[in-house]
Amino acid sequence: MDIVVKKLPASQVEMNVTLAWDEWKKECNHAAEHVAKEVKMPGFRPGKVPRAIVEKRYGKEVVLHEAAEHAVSHAYSRALEQEHIDAIGKPEVKLESIREGEVLTFTVTTAVLPEVKIADTWRKSVRSANEEHKRKESDLLVESKEVEDELQRLASMRAKFITVNRPAALEDSVEVDFEVRMNGVVIEGGKSEKHPLVLGKGAFIPGFEEAVVGMQAGEEKTFTLSFPAEYHAKHLAGNPAEFQVKLRLVQERQVPALDDDFARGLGSFESLEDLRKKISEGMLEEKRQHFKEAGRTAVLDALVADSSIDFPEILIEEERNRMASEFQMQVENMGMPFEQYLERTGKSLDALKQDWTEPAKKRLAASMILEKLATDDQIEIDSKEIEQEMNVVLQQYKRVQDAEKNIDLERLYAATRGRLRNEKVFEMLEKVQ
């Protein structure tokens, strides 16, 4: 097998492969057997029709083309191995003339894993990023106001609502019956009874909650409001509607006092001061983690800037698809259907993915640079360490059968190995001074 390799732009290669007749003629019998499976002839079992009869019925060219396709399939994988080519995606194959007794020539164009080129000065760039980041370490402080704000948040989460006999005010929890009419007709989804609402949260269109403020339980009220111009339902956007509201219930929000009893009620805290201390320590640790991640991001940015990678389109498209899946999950985890998000933003999924082209390249570059540095520095992870980390995930499942059913163990092993190896690469980079 003779192979001539030509490098093309965007990390593609073209291989011109020539097979001698002696190398590919054996495929003719296999091809004839394959074609024979489609032949039904009296006196022969399916797939057992002799090659001569198959060629007579369908023509020798059909068998030769089938043989050539088999030969190309086998030769392609051998050629990749022989030339040490890391092909990705589906190759484009072009067959030259196919004649019995002659050489078979074909051309394959395929995308390959791109070469990662990092400038010789990368250590200087990493050192500069580390020094710049180190200077910001003195900012890792927790202000007393941050702690008090967190205490207030915890207290707010444990607030109780007590029914009161007074006009509704901001921050009250209320129940309302309402109807929304446009041109005298109740709009779709425009009617509800005993609808819960916290005044001042902005859950309704602007002006609705303000109109409820001051109403007493049992009171009814009619008023007109216009839907916002950017309202997601286009037929309502910017149009006025009549709102008929009856207030059923007013409840006052009572926040617990910040004292020792409150602290002890949250868990194993001896006093309010002890709770403050634990909150401060937790916030500081969180800031340290964010600081660490920011430092690693700065180092990666420096490495990406010092690198050159000619990405094939298929890799970029795969990364954009991954980003799209992640983003869709984030949107839906916030309680909004993804299609509704696209409708509200007026963007298509294809437009979003196009916007992510450069971020996709950056993510790919960061991942491939870390892998190259790990290879260059011969950083590897012991299998026992990988298995220990995997067990942390697997312990979330009560039975091994559950783990095998819900987790791809090979993928988990690869992901765990990659994460641990990247951690060691970052530790190496953080020591570049």
| Listed residues 113, 147, 181: the one ending a domain | 113
Looking at the structure, do residues 87 and 179 belong to the same domain, yes or no?
no
- Per-residue pLDDT, averaged over 370-392, amounts to 92
317 is a domain residue: no
82-131 pLDDT, tens per residue?
999 999 999 999 988 788 889 999 999 999 999 999 999 999 999 999 99
Looking at the structure, do residues 92 and 191 belong to the same domain, yes or no?
no
106 is a domain residue: yes
Share of the chain above pLDDT 70, in %: 90
Residue 140 has φ and ψ, to the nearest 5°, of -80, 80
- Given a cut of 60, whether residue 44 has pLDDT beyond it is no
Q: What is the pLDDT of residue 211?
A: 95
| Listed residues 254, 289, 322: the one ending a domain | 254
Q: What is the pLDDT of residue 276?
A: 96
64 is a domain residue: yes
Share of the chain above pLDDT 90, in %: 69
Give the range with max mean pLDDT: 50-64, 231-245, 276-290.
Answer: 276-290
- Cα–Cα distances in angstroms (integers) from residue 331 to residues 145, 325, 348, 349, in the given order: 32, 10, 15, 13
Alpha carbons 17 and 191: distance in angstroms, whole number = 72
| Lowest-pLDDT range of 48-57, 360-369, 378-387 | 48-57
Looking at the structure, do residues 104 and 175 belong to the same domain, yes or no?
no
* pLDDT range class, residue 149, cuts 50, 70, 90: very high
301 is a domain residue: no
- Given a cut of 90, whether residue 30 has pLDDT beyond it is no
- Per-residue pLDDT, averaged over 189-204, amounts to 92
Q: What is the pLDDT of residue 39?
A: 56
| Listed residues 204, 221, 254: the one ending a domain | 254
* pLDDT range class, residue 393, cuts 50, 70, 90: confident
- Cα–Cα distances in angstroms (integers) from residue 69 to residues 25, 27, 93, 96, 348, in the given order: 12, 9, 10, 12, 40
Alpha carbons 397 and 387: distance in angstroms, whole number = 16
Looking at the structure, do residues 107 and 182 belong to the same domain, yes or no?
no
Q: In this structure, what CATH number is given to the domain that contains residue 59?
A: 3.30.70.1050
Alpha carbons 12 and 85: distance in angstroms, whole number = 10
26 is a domain residue: yes
Looking at the structure, do residues 97 and 183 belong to the same domain, yes or no?
no
- Given a cut of 60, whether residue 45 has pLDDT beyond it is no
Average pLDDT of the chain, as a whole number: 89
Give the three-state DSSP class for 380: coil
- 28/259: higher pLDDT: 259
Q: What is the pLDDT of residue 415?
A: 92
Looking at the structure, do residues 84 and 178 belong to the same domain, yes or no?
no
315 is a domain residue: no
Looking at the structure, do residues 165 and 224 belong to the same domain, yes or no?
yes
90 is a domain residue: yes
Q: How many folded domains does the chain comprise?
A: 3
- Per-residue pLDDT, averaged over 39-45, amounts to 54
| Lowest-pLDDT range of 63-77, 230-244, 253-267 | 63-77
Q: In this structure, what CATH number is given to the domain that contains residue 244?
A: 3.10.50.40
Q: What is the pLDDT of residue 371?
A: 94
Angle at 412 between CA 328 and CA 323, to 5 degrees: 20
* pLDDT range class, residue 404, cuts 50, 70, 90: low
Provide the residue range defining the domain that includes 89: 2-113
361 is a domain residue: no
| Lowest-pLDDT range of 208-212, 365-369, 397-401 | 397-401
Answer yes or no: are the C-beta atoms of 181 and 187 closer than 8 Å.
Answer: yes
